[in-house]
Amino acid sequence: MRHRNAPPPGRRPRRVAETVRQVVTTFLQEEARDPRIGFVTVTGVEITHDLQRAVVKFTVHGDEAAREQTFEGLQHAAVAVRRRLGEALSVRVVPEIVFTPDRGREHAARIEELLAELQRPEDEAS
C-alpha cells in the first residue's frame, strides 16, 4: 500500500529529470570552462525509474568535428555536473550522468529530403 503523501509513480523521476536538466544547463552556461564544449542545447533528460542513471540528450551547433569535441568535453565534465547535482538533490545516490547526442533534427531533415525525392517526377529525379 502506498503512503498517503507519497507522490504518484513516475512523478519523482520526472522531477529529478527536470532538476538534472536545470543543473546541466546552468553548469554549461556558467561554469564549464572546457574549450572543447561548444554551443550546446540540452534537448531532454531521461532518467531510470530507480534514479540511478540520467541520460542527457544534447545538440551542438557546428560541424561534425565540433560535435565530437563537444561530446568529449561533456563526457569529461560529467563528474563536475554530478557533483553539482548532488548539491541540488536530496537523494541517497546521485544519478550517473551520461551525455548522448540528440540526432532527432538530423533524422528529420533526412526524412524530409527522402520525401521530397519521392515527390519529384521521375524525369527530374534522374
* Domains in the chain, CATH or no CATH each: 11-125 (3.30.300.20)
Instruction: Give the angle subtended at the CA of 101 by the CAs of 70 and 62, to the nearest 5°.
Output: 50
123 pLDDT more than 90: no
What value does the mean pLDDT take over residues 39-55?
Answer: 93
User: pTM for the whole thing?
Assistant: 0.75
Looking at residue 25, its amino acid is T
In the predicted structure, residue 108 carries a pLDDT above the cut 90: no
Which amino acid is it at 9? P
Ranges of beta strands (E only) in 5-124 are: 40-47, 53-60, 96-101
User: Is residue 101 classed as helix, strand or coil in its secondary structure?
Assistant: strand
Flag the least confident range among 48-52, 115-119, 121-125: 121-125
**pLDDT-derived band of residue 122, with 50, 70 and 90 as boundaries?**
low
User: Which of residues 56 and 61 earns the better pLDDT score?
Assistant: 56
**What distance in Å separates the CA atoms of residue 80 and residue 74, rounded to the nearest whole number?**
10
